[in-house]
A and B are shown apart, each in its own frame.
Chain A
Amino acid sequence: MRRIDLFLGFFKLGALAFGGTGPMMRSVIVEDRRWLDDAEFAALLGLCQALPGANTCNLAVMLGERHFGASGAFIALFGLLLAPLTILVAVASFFEIFANVADVRAALFGATAAAAGLAVGTALKMARKIPFEPFVIAIAIAIFAAVAIFSLPLLAVLALLLPASLVFSGARR
């Protein structure tokens, strides 16, 4: 693999991953570029999910580092973000320029309401997909209340609830 391949692979991933990078990530890294096999991919993704930060960005950094050290990490991350950031600025500018057009205002109103539903729906879907356990529901509700209702600092909430969750998830194994 050359550096340009690393760049192009992550550029493709960034440019094509509409509605989240999850499904696209596997198809580019495992099937298209063959950088990792399925087992290696699952292991690396698991590590990225356990670390703080955006999962796809962590993966770009780790895969880039593996092949070309610091420059590889930077190239992969840059390739991943280039297309999304360009498109993002174009879309945001569009909404700014046409902010006075009634249809555009209505469109943004609708998109904002739908995006809120998207987040709620994703939370429900995540809850449905895991086996039912009381501690999961209890901790999810506790963190929801702490963050959304009482606006507590996330650092304090995590310091309290992450150890609690670790204890309960261990006890249930």
Chain B
Amino acid sequence: MKDDLLTSLFLRFAGISLLAVGGATAVLPEAHRQIVQQAHWLTNEQFAQTFAIAQTSPGPNVIVFSLFGWRLAGFWGLVVATLGILGPSSLLAYAVARIMRKAGEASWLIRLKKALTPLAIGLMAANGYLLARGADTGALALLITVGAAAFIALTPRSPLWAMGAGTLLAVIAGRMGMI
């Protein structure tokens, strides 16, 4: 049974790997669709919590996929999930590195990047929408979400400040019996 889960985890993440145009956050809505809606491995809320925990750790955003694996199947889940999400894209990057070591800012590259920009914006917004639905729907959660969004959009400061402030506010509200 567990082997089935690991195999399925690997195959799903390996498939998602090559769709990650513009980085790992771009495929989080697709991961949400597969993990929450199709496989029912995590609830909406657990999915959003896992993303939040991954944000507190340093390093590339892609490690949220490793944490999905950890939550689903412990250590081997983490290993399999990491190999799945990074394997295919890394092999492609390796092949491209070998083929075109001297690739500069070729014009097709500039055009492709420009074409990917609106997709990246839309996918990032979709990610935020799905996460907000997974976080609590009460007034306090909405206040923290909107406050954090405004902070990130309007200031150049580190997102960790918004995470810290939101966490602190919730702890204080909890102490006052508001949650």
A residues neighboring B (CB under 8 Å): 14-21, 42-43, 46-58, 61-62, 65-66, 70, 73, 77, 80-81, 83-85, 87-89, 91-92, 95, 102-103, 105-128, 130, 135-144, 147-148, 151, 153-155, 158, 161-162, 165-166, 168-170, 173
Contact = CB atoms under 8 A, between A and B. Distances in A.
Contacts of B132: 113, 116-117, 120
Tier of interface size on chain B: 35 or more
A121 B117 contact: no
Given A54-B89, A111-B167, A118 B55 contact: yes
Contacts of A87: 57-59
Contacts of A43: 103-105
A168 B117 CA distance: 12
- Classify the interface of chain A: helix, strand, loop or mixed: helix
A61 B131 contact: no
Contacts of B29: 147-148, 154
B67 to A, nearest CB: 6
Interface string B88-128: 11101110111001011100011111111111111111111
A91 B151 contact: no
Given A130-B117, A140-B125, A158-B19, A114 B57 contact: no
A113 B58 contact: no
Contacts of A140: 118-119, 121-122, 125
B148 A121 contact: yes
Given A88-B63, A165-B116, A57 B86 contact: yes
